[in-house]
Amino acid sequence: MIKTALVTGGAGFIGSHMVDFLLSKNYIVKVLDNFSGGQDQNLVHHKNNGKLIVEKTDIRDCEKIKTFFKDINEVYHFAGIGDIVPSIENPIEYFSVNAGGTAILMDCLRNSKNLKKIVYAASSSCYGLASTPTDEHHKIQPEYPYALSKYQGEMIVRHWYKVYKIPVNTIRIFNAYGPRVRTTGAYGAVFGVFFKQKLSNAPLTIVGDGEQTRDFLYVTDVAKAFFMAAQSNLTNEVWNLGAGNPVSINYLADLIGYKSKKYIPKRPAEPDCTWANIKKISKDLNWKAEVNFDEGVRTMLKDINYWQDAPLWTEKKIQTATKTWFKYLKN
């Protein structure tokens, strides 16, 4: 029997790779995305695939398209809005989408008779300035509205399991990277910033001394973990997901290559290290990362022109864009 999966945010960075993975497994894939962050080009290679169905709708409007949820077996919930600074400037929108939208989606799925599993894309930002390596029992201490809104979404899906017995699992993603990582919007993801700077022969802007480390995980390994979480007989589990092998931003800069570097002030409420303890997901799902960091970066560099139209972030532009960050977040 051919299975049907729903991927919310399926035109986005991770969501589109989830779509790739599911179509390769012969699924019928329904994408729900309002394209506020997602892009048509992330799915264009599937335009002639009759097993892909795309609905351009906000998750907060799920009630209007209830028939779209018919016969769904698995749900991969990536839809949401990210970035730290916009969440500080407009917190209500973040809670409306990431928490409220999740509640509306869950309620639309409440009477789905064939639904076997929902996997929620949570964020490791819920841990705040965490001790490392960080396991799933670490204290929850979000530092900014985005982090809190994603954690509220997590609590909502688990509450729907408790009350309505909708089967869910949650994965707290650390630092996903790979092809299609965002090119537009607010100042954020380091890869898009660095690649555009390299293309422009501009200095790579490195926060602090560059020795801070991040637990980067290649996006296809993320998609595989979500698929395994959906197939598992385990329910209402929470897993941390990273490579379990943090690397420094200076190391990333060296891999990418550069004409020059510019060090800019360290930002408050940002951890010096993110590092997922992945023992639980490795044991429970028999999951392991397949793409090492150097290999992943080299793959992205082959397609560096994807970032040709990305904004060029200079030291001055970054200072302006992060003014709110420095104003409200304190160490």
Q: Which of 76, 127, 146, 151 is labelled catalytic? A: 146
H-assigned helices in 165-310: 190-199, 219-231, 249-256, 279-285, 293-302
Residue with tokens 């992060």: 322
128: left (phi over 0), alpha (psi -120 to 50) or beta: left
Q: What is the pLDDT of residue 189?
A: 81
Q: Is the peptide bond before 271 cis (omega within 30 degrees of 0)?
A: no
Residue with tokens 């609905």: 55
Contact indicator for 79, 9 with CB cutoff of 8 Å = yes
Which residues of the chain fall below pLDDT 70? 183-188, 331
Query: What pairs with residue 116 in β-bridges?
Result: none
Q: Whole-angstrom Cα distance, residue 57 to residue 36?
A: 10
Domain residues of the chain, as ranges?
A: 4-176+218-241, 179-215+245-275+291-328
Q: What is the pLDDT of residue 184?
A: 63
Angle made by CA atoms 230, 154, 229, in degrees to the nearest 5: 15
Q: Whole-angstrom Cα distance, residue 305 to residue 295?
A: 18
Q: What is the pLDDT of residue 13?
A: 95
Fold of 4-176+218-241: Rossmann fold (3.40.50)
Q: pLDDT digit string (tens) for 255-309?
A: 999 999 999 999 899 999 999 999 999 999 999 999 999 999 999 999 999 999 8
Fold of 179-215+245-275+291-328: UDP-galactose 4-epimerase; domain 1 (3.90.25)
Q: pLDDT digit string (tens) for 213-235?
A: 999 999 999 999 999 999 999 99
Q: What is the pLDDT of residue 188?
A: 65
- Output the average pLDDT for the chain: 95
Q: Is 146 a catalytic residue?
A: yes
